[in-house]
Amino acid sequence: MLSQGFVSAAAIAASVLFVLSLGGLSNQEKAKRAVWYGIVGMAVAVFFTAFGPGIGAYWLMIPMVIVGAVAGAYVAKKVEMTEMPQLVAALHSFVGLAAVFVAWSADLERRRVLAARALDAGAEQFSAFAALVATKAPDELMFLQIEVVLGVFIGAVTFTGSVIAFGKLAGKVDGKPRQLPGGHLLNAGAAALSLLLAILYLNGAGFWTLLLIAALAFFIGYHLIMGIGGADMPVVVSMLNSYSGWAAAAIGFTLSNDLLIVTGALVGSSGAILSYIMCKAMNRNFVNVILGGFGGSQGPAAEIEGEQVAIDAGGVASALNDADSVIIVPGYGMAVAQAQNAVSELVRKLRSAGKEVRFGIHPVAGRLPGHMNVLLAEARVPYDIVLEMDEINDDFASTDVVIVIGSNDIVNPAAQEDPNSPIAGMPVLKVWEAKQVFVCKRGQGTGYSGIENPLFFKENTRMFYGDARSSIDSLLSQID
């Protein structure tokens, strides 16, 4: 068993590695090395925690670690990049549920310590955690109770919220916002009742209060995320990531685990900052998003005139052959069709023909921040031609051809033209300003968020229907 000095030193080293990992992920070229920082940091954290002072029951721990490692490796190999958003949401739910269970266990141990004190039982009667609790003064036990309440509430909200987010991202739950009658009043009532139960618990009420707090928080997590539409799901995933971090930090305080506190705080703060950045990029109010659109715009959306005009692969190829400048705007449709390699080959052929080809990436393209960047990097698209919205938005007016691959909301002019649109005010890629726009799309549906797009009806837009991968493949043989 390792000494506390070794464990403390390892915690510092792992924390530094986690900070380096987060910092490196801001740059595509450094991201691979940053991921390894995180892997090594987590390995160090797990090893030194498992073999630190006061840890036992290895006969149970080691098999559980092996089972978890095998399950993780299996899922990592099976899950495609297109399914990564829902996988992240599912993993958030695990963190939340773990926080609830640990908090419940901590309170049961606290009650055991108090009962043992009343019977003058010796310290040998305690588990490692209970022995730690036994050293706490009454005022310190009050702080422990507060940590337990926070762990149960935040963890339960994170669990059910993440489960619903997983369902929406996976298409198993309707992506449209739905709430029970009473809407936000139900959420507010559940939160107020949770606070009342927490006060009762802190004043000596039984374990039943924690069970009821968890049940109410489970409902709040479910109802909040059900009330959020598909257009805001990238923000929701980031927000739930933040929640899982704060739940872990609360449990870190409960367990007196410095590394868990630091790790949870890093995840919680970075997730909150990312959520804020994404809301700013979408011109959304952060509070409105997390409350399911409370106070959002209301009213009927503007009617769209005209019709969608289709075009075949020959027509698109002809326009590309005549063009000097091309911008490609990828969205989740590219991910679903796994068309990134075909797109990369198209880019290679166009650039070989002397054409300027670039990508326009919206901050919330796909269903997870950075989703499109990862796919393009995987397909070996050069980093220097992958530009963010602010870098490329002014160039559409001087661009010959724009190819939109499976995007809807991020290229929707209604965001700027229709104040009653669900995405009103959201900054979008102004693809309609280009000379010609080709939209690669499976059919005439409104897409995941259910929002109609006037772009598809504009005179300079042609709809290139079909699976994105097959459609792009059909262009390759016709590019000069």
CB atoms within 10 A of CB 478: 13
Same-domain check for residues 420 and 434: yes
Same domain, 181 and 86: yes
- Element at 358 (helix H, strand E): strand 356-361
Question: Is 112 found in the same domain as 26?
Answer: no
Task: Supply the pLDDT for residue 471.
Answer: 92
Give residue 70's pLDDT.
92
In a domain? residue 274: yes
- Rounded CA-CA distance 94/119 in Å is 37
| Amino acid (one-letter) located at 146 | I
Nearest-CA neighbor of 250 among 129, 136, 131, 154? Answer: 154
The pTM score is 0.77
What one-character-per-residue DSSP string does 282-326 give? TT--HHHHHTTSTT---SPPPP--S---B--HHHHHHHHHH-SEE
% of the chain surpassing 70 pLDDT: 87
Over the stretch 86-127, which tens digit does the pLDDT of each residue have? 888 888 899 999 999 999 988 887 787 777 666 555 544 555
On whether both 111 and 258 belong to a single domain, the answer is: yes
Of 120, 139, 400, 409, which residue is the catalytic one? 409
Q: Which of 219, 81, 83, 106 is nearest to 160 (CA)?
A: 219
Residue 306 lies in a domain: no
H or E stretch including 437?
Answer: strand 436-441
Domain hosting 430: range is: 313-476
State residue 295's pLDDT score: 47
- Could you say which DSSP state residue 404 is in? E
Q: Which residues contact 149 (CB under 8 A, 6 or more apart)?
A: 103, 198, 201, 202, 210, 213
373 and 443 belong to one structural domain: yes
Q: How many CB atoms lie within 10 A of CB 160?
A: 22
Beta bridge partners of 436: 401
Based on the fold, state whether residues 229 and 173 are members of the same structural domain: yes
Distance CA 274, CA 305 (A): 37
Distances (CA, A) of 393 to 23, 134, 356, 377, 433: 27, 62, 16, 21, 10
Kindly report the average pLDDT of the chain as a whole number: 84
**Is residue 318 in a domain?**
yes
Tokens 């958003």 found at? 85
Reported as type and span, the H/E element at residue 436 is strand 436-441
Which pLDDT value is given to residue 228? 79
Q: What is the DSSP string of 213-235?
A: HHHHHHHHHHHHHHTS-GGGHHH
123 and 260: one domain? yes
> Quick one: how far is CA 338 from the chain centroid?
20
* 395 catalytically annotated: no
CA 74/CA 95 separation, integer angstroms: 19
CA-to-CA distance for 274 and 86, rounded, in angstroms? 18
- Give every CB contact of residue 180 below 8 A, 6+ residues apart in sequence: 186, 223
**337 and 269 assigned to the same domain:** no
Residues of the chain with pLDDT under 50: 123-124, 295-297
Instruction: Summarize pLDDT for 287-318 with one digit per residue, the tens.
Output: 766 665 554 445 565 667 778 899 999 999 99
- Residue owning tokens 């029951």: 57
Contact 7, 257 (CB under 8 A): no
Q: Using only C-alpha atoms, what is the Rg of the chain? A: 26
Residue type, 370: G
Number of structural domains found in the chain: 3
Question: How far is Cα 134 from Cα 118, in angstroms, rounded to an integer?
Answer: 12
Please indicate, yes or no, if residue 296 is contained in any of the structural domains: no
144/271 same-domain check: yes
Tell me how far apart the alpha carbons of residues 84 and 169 are, in angstroms, rounded to a whole number. 10
pLDDT number for residue 411: 92
304 domain residue, yes or no: no
**Same domain (yes/no): 206, 321:** no
